[in-house]
């Protein structure tokens, strides 16, 4: 009989389950004497599929129900796509671990009729599906001749809508497609010059209770230091701008010789304004770099853009 059981909370979507079972297997490898039990549930973001994400409100859209289980002590840890985890967590909870990042790029996935095109060569009026304001704003900025349409549902649902001809192309995360063994659907990995990725995209964030030293010790087995530093910089940048996952804020981070470089972007929804800048410094200053970059962009006018977006969303 196991000396200990650790309860893992997860959304019940296909991608969430693949990610959670990976975490479960990696922890079991490191701690074979512990039972790791997965408990699944639906979040608000999983249930409301006929409304654009930005209109629902993004604070904890895919995380709140899992956090309730942590706070009620009916789960010990919760596995999230880090990009879905708000930068300000409920009192009593903390980001306990960040796993090694998969490719954080966005992917162009096309209908069969558009297989001979790249993003840069798509003809005027091509209909592209995305539920992300970040992707929408950047692509409108670079490709104003294309048309954009909201698309909701899990990854398989979105692919079905694409293949049925409802869209000519859709934008998805490279990481999600790879984790679901659908890398063959990646027509083009969109370069960062065209679409900076979401904060935390491609990494998993594992949330737990503050002060739960036993669980935190276990999570060290799957922590990835470089990804953690990149995530801390990105999340500090987002937190300082007070932007949720449904605001057009994009990032890209790299680490070389203990030096972290963070690129950040804020864009207007119509794609007519796009502010971008870069900071670099020691990885030990990751969060300070994120805050510094936010202040630079705010000085360039980012706050006015964000205020207008918040007003539009509320309308």
SS3 127: strand
SS3 81: strand
* pLDDT tens for each residue of 171-223: 999 999 999 999 999 999 999 999 999 999 999 999 999 999 999 999 999 99
pLDDT of residue 312: 75
CA geometry: angle 118, 123, 124, nearest 5 deg: 135
Domain parsing of the chain, residue ranges: 1-99+203-223, 106-189, 224-315
Residues in the chain: 315
Give the CATH fold of the 106-189 domain.
D-Maltodextrin-Binding Protein; domain 2 (3.40.190)
pLDDT of residue 314: 66
Q: Quick one: DSSP state of residue 255?
A: E
Residue 153 pLDDT more than 60? yes
Which of the listed CATH numbers 3.20.190.10, 3.40.47.10, 3.30.160.40, 3.40.190.10 matches domain 224-315? 3.30.160.40
42: how many CB neighbours lie within 10 A of its CB? 12
pTM: 0.90
* pLDDT tens for each residue of 80-139: 999 989 999 999 999 999 999 999 999 999 999 999 999 999 999 999 999 899 999 999
Q: From the candidates 84, 106, 212, 285, give the one annotated as an active-site residue.
A: 84
Residue 2 pLDDT more than 60? no
Residue 243 pLDDT more than 80? no
Please indicate whether residue 84 is annotated as part of the active site: yes
* pLDDT tens for each residue of 17-66: 999 999 999 999 999 999 999 999 765 544 444 444 444 455 555 578 89
For 290, residues 6+ apart whose C-beta sits below 8 A from its C-beta are: 232, 233, 234, 235, 236, 237, 238, 239, 240, 262, 264
CA atoms within 13 A on the CB side of 228: 13
DSSP codes of every residue in 172-234: EEHHHHHHTT-GGG-SEEPPTTT-PBPTTTT-EEEEEETT-HHHHHHHGGG--HHHHHHHHHH
Identical fold at 106-189 and 224-315?
no
Give the CATH fold of the 1-99+203-223 domain.
D-Maltodextrin-Binding Protein; domain 2 (3.40.190)
Q: How confident is the model at residue 163 (pLDDT cuts 50, 70, 90)?
A: very high
């Amino acid at each position: 009989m196991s000396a200990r059981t650790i309860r893992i909370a997860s959304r019940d979507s296909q991608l969430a389950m693949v990610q959670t079972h990976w975490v479960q297997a990696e922890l079991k490898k490191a701690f074979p004497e512990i039972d790791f039990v997965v408990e699944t549930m639906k979040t608000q973001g999983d249930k409301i599929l006929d409304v654009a994400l930005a209109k629902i409100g993004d604070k904890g859209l895919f995380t709140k129900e899992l956090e309730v289980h942590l706070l009620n002590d009916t789960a010990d840890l919760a596995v999230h796509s880090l990009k879905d985890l708000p930068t300000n967590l409920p009192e009593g909870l903390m980001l306990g671990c960040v796993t090694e990042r998969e490719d954080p790029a966005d992917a162009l996935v096309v209908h069969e009729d558009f297989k001979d095109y790249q993003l840069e060569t798509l003809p005027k009026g091509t209909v592209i599906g995305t539920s992300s304001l970040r992707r929408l704003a950047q692509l409108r900025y670079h490709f104003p001749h294309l048309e954009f349409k909201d698309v909701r549902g899990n990854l398989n649902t979105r692919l079905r809508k694409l293949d049925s001809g409802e869209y000519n192309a859709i934008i998805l995360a490279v990481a999600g497609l790879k984790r679901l063994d659908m890398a063959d659907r990646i027509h083009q990995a969109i370069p960062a010059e065209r679409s900076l990725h979401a904060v935390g995209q491609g990494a998993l964030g594992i949330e737990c209770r503050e002060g739960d030293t036993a669980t935190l010790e276990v999570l060290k087995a799957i922590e990835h230091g470089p990804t953690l530093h990149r995530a801390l910089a990105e999340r500090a940048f987002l937190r300082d701008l007070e932007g949720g996952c449904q605001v057009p804020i994009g990032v890209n981070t790299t680490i070389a010789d203990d030096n972290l470089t963070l690129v950040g972007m804020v864009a207007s929804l119509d794609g007519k304004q796009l502010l971008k800048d870069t900071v670099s410094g020691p990885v030990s200053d990751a969060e300070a770099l994120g805050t510094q970059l936010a202040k630079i962009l705010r000085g360039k006018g980012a706050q006015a853009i964000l205020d207008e977006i918040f007003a539009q969303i509320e309308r």
